[in-house]
Amino acid sequence: MYGRQLIDGIRFRVRTGVPWRDVPVEYGPWSRVYDLFRWWQRILTQLRSLADARGAIVRDLSVDSTVCRAHQHAAGARKQSDLQKEPPGGIFTEPRDHGLGRSRGGFTTKLHLAVEQGQKPMSIVVTAGQRGDSPEFETVLKKVRVPCLGPGRPRVRPDRVRADKAYASRKNRAYLRRRGIRCTIPDKADHAHNREERGSRGGRPPEFNAEDYKARHVGECGITRLKRNRPVATRYDKLAGRYEDTVLVTAINEWL
């Protein structure tokens, strides 16, 4: 029963965004709740494997990003980010800027996600708010990994990727071709104009199916479902690793 109380304490904090020290005592000592939180996000991998075994995951992904405001309490982390790894050794190395920066929205952080057709996240990348979308495209797709329950390699390659014009770079399209992944990404107006000016030397326009592109909305829907939780919509965590953990635990609630 005590373990269940700690898990409920994690879900309470992820839903409400209260400081860890203010987690109600009914869930146990706040320090125990926080310690379990640092490891509990590993459950997400197992949940994806179970869903994949049931055939519940459609192997079409939508890649998108969203900017989240950072609370003033998110500032002030120590600058020696290389000393802030998860013990022992950790699976997440803290970035030097802690995933915080200045954008048009002010003091912000940015979430880059790959979302499957059920509006559930398959991979998450945290960067500073001013970072562009296109440079993180490969990073987001490389983090997609669904281990098999039995023998066999993990599934790391989707059948199709949908994204908006922000990801319509030659580098991203070349990356998808190398991996044999089909894509539905609209061409930018300036790309089309430059190609027309070059005539036959401009090459053929990339294939684009407007009807298939309508399914891209699941990425935005998946982001909306995550941001219903206060500590995701507004970042309170000083460390990018802890904020990513918060998003991952929120994703677990979506997969349960």
pTM, entire model: 0.83
Bridge partners, residue 126, by sequence: 111
* Chunked mean pLDDT (size 10), the chain, 256 residues: 80 87 90 80 68 72 94 82 52 80 92 91 92 95 84 85 93 94 90 78 81 93 93 92 87 81
pLDDT given for residue 88 in this prediction:
41
**Looking at this protein, which amino acid is placed at residue 183?**
C
- Say which amino acid occupies 116: E
Question: Are 58 and 48 spatial neighbours (Cβ–Cβ below 8 Å)?
Answer: no
13, two tokens: 């904090």
Three-state DSSP state, 102: strand
Q: Does the domain formed by 58-234 have CATH 3.30.420?
A: yes
Dist CA 74 CA 76 (whole Å): 7
Kindly state the tokens that stand for 82. Answer: 């290389």
d(CA 47, CA 217): 23
Helix runs in 20-169, H state only: 30-40, 43-53, 137-142
- List, in sequence order, every beta strand (DSSP E) within the chain: 60-70, 101-103, 106-116, 121-128, 160-162, 182-184, 234-235
Distance CA 162, CA 60 (A): 8
Domain boundaries, the chain: 58-234
pLDDT at 41: 54
